[in-house]
């Protein structure tokens, strides 16, 4: 647990939720945790910090939940003991809320959902290749990474690019809806699972018949959804989907494993034909302590990569293709991390703790130091 965050200037022992969200914004935090037996907790630059406030009681967390939960989420919470939903607070933005029970009491986690502003480069993302992926027509594009890695921001940047540059029809399928997209060049319909459509699979299938060109899928929970996404891509739609997988190879393996063994070879060939690219990312603390920066792996489906996808014995060799694929806009995690270190964005310690091969990273760093001395 990190250092204490100074308390809030409030007249009541129990701060309002808006006061806590203002504090979250003021300290540059990403998440607010509300749990019985603990004061409010803020996540700042990936580290949790307790606030200098009284510990919360069961009545406190119930009060916070009752003030924001939707009717649908309340029904889900009562049935399952947990529910996710999104809220908008005037002047404070949008937040994704995860509510759940622990030890018989209510807990909440509120995550800030910031509007996606700026170009890919301004967001610290590889611009040329992401622009190309956003400009693709039919096919599959995946944005992946662990929880809290910025997948929503990167997917939002892809949608913003399409919205700003293409006269097209976009449908987003989300649970819940996080970022709101006003129409620009495109017309965008945003559908929430359980509110506007029954499921991801139903929403994808429906979108195919709704004069849609691009379908954003906020999750791929099962084989039915993946099948619908593949069918939509094969029928001429661009599918942009989010997965919690770590990198490109793991993503391909996970997609294949959605299906029973007797179907997996067919799915490999389908992915080899329809995949356009996989963008995977993780967030690393900045060297100056001011937030975190994205390290991004990019896999582009070339002829060689497609052959590896189709052959399970060759799948792991895609790692080498990524490392050697700069011409196509590809780069590995380690290449991205080394570039961040070389630019002074992250420390040596942070780089080595996130590098896939610490030995190779140290050798590259040492080689660059020797090169600078020689010059």
Over residues 204-244, the pLDDT tens digits come to 999 999 999 999 999 999 999 999 999 999 999 999 999 99
Reading phi first (left if > 0) and then psi (alpha if -120 to 50, else beta), residue 238 is in: beta
pLDDT at 93 over 60: yes
Over residues 118-143, the pLDDT tens digits come to 889 999 999 999 999 999 999 999 99
pLDDT score for 23: 92
pLDDT score for 365: 84
With 0.85 as the threshold, say if the pTM is over it.
Answer: yes
**Backbone φ, ψ for residue 96 (5° rounding):** -90, 130
Nearest of 94, 100, 110, 118 to residue 178 by alpha carbon = 94
Residues 113 and 96: beta-carbon distance below 8 Å? yes
pLDDT band at 7 (very low <50, low <70, confident <90, very high): low
- Mean pLDDT, rounded, of the chain: 93
Over residues 236-285, the pLDDT tens digits come to 999 999 999 999 999 999 999 999 999 999 999 999 999 999 999 999 99
Task: Give the integer Cα–Cα distance in Å for 106 and 82.
Answer: 9
Nearest of 234, 214, 114 to residue 173 by alpha carbon = 214
pLDDT score for 92: 87
* Portions of the chain given CATH number 3.30.450.90: 2-113
pLDDT at 12 over 70: no
pLDDT at 11 over 90: no
CATH architecture of 127-331: 3-Layer(aba) Sandwich (3.40)
Q: What class does CATH assign to 2-113?
A: alpha beta
pLDDT score for 360: 84
Nearest of 134, 145, 142, 141 to residue 281 by alpha carbon = 145
pLDDT band at 46 (very low <50, low <70, confident <90, very high): confident
* Portions of the chain given CATH number 3.40.50.300: 127-331
């Amino acid at each position: 647990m990190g250092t204490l965050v100074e308390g809030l200037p409030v007249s009541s022992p129990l701060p309002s939720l808006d006061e806590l969200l203002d504090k979250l914004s003021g300290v540059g935090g990403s998440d607010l945790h509300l749990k019985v037996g603990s004061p409010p907790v803020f996540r700042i630059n990936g580290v949790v910090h307790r606030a200098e406030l009284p510990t919360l009681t069961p009545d406190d967390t119930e009060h916070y939940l009752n003030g924001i939960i939707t009717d649908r989420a309340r029904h889900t919470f009562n049935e399952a003991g947990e529910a996710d939903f999104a809220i908008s607070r005037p002047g404070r933005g949008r937040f994704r809320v995860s509510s759940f029970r622990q030890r018989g009491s209510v807990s909440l986690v509120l995550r800030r959902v910031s509007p996606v502003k700026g170009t890919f480069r301004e967001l610290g993302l590889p611009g040329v290749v992401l622009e190309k992926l956003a400009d693709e027509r039919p096919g599959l594009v995946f944005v992946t990474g662990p929880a809290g890695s910025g997948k929503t921001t990167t997917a939002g940047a892809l949608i913003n690019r399409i919205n700003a540059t293409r006269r097209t029809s976009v449908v987003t399928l989300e649970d819940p809806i996080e970022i709101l997209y006003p129409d620009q060049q495109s017309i965008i319909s945003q559908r929430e699972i359980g509110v506007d459509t029954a499921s991801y699979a139903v929403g994808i299938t429906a979108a195919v018949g709704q004069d849609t060109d691009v379908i954003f899928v906020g999750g791929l929970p099962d084989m039915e959804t993946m099948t619908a996404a593949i069918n939509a891509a094969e029928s001429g739609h661009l599918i942009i989907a989010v997965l919690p997988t770590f990198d490109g190879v793991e993503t391909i393996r996970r997609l294949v494993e959605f299906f029973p063994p007797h179907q997996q070879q067919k799915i490999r060939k389908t992915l080899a034909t329809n995949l356009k690219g996989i963008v995977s990312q993780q967030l690393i603390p900045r060297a100056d302590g001011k937030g975190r920066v994205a390290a991004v792996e990019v896999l582009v489906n070339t002829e060689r990569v497609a052959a590896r996808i189709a052959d399970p014995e060759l799948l792991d060799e895609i790692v080498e293709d990524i490392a050697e694929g700069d011409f196509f806009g590809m780069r590995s995690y380690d290449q991205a991390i080394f570039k961040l270190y070389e630019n002074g964005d992250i420390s040596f310690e942070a780089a080595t703790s996130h590098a896939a091969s610490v030995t190779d990273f140290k050798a590259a760093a040492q080689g660059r130091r020797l090169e600078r001395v020689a010059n």
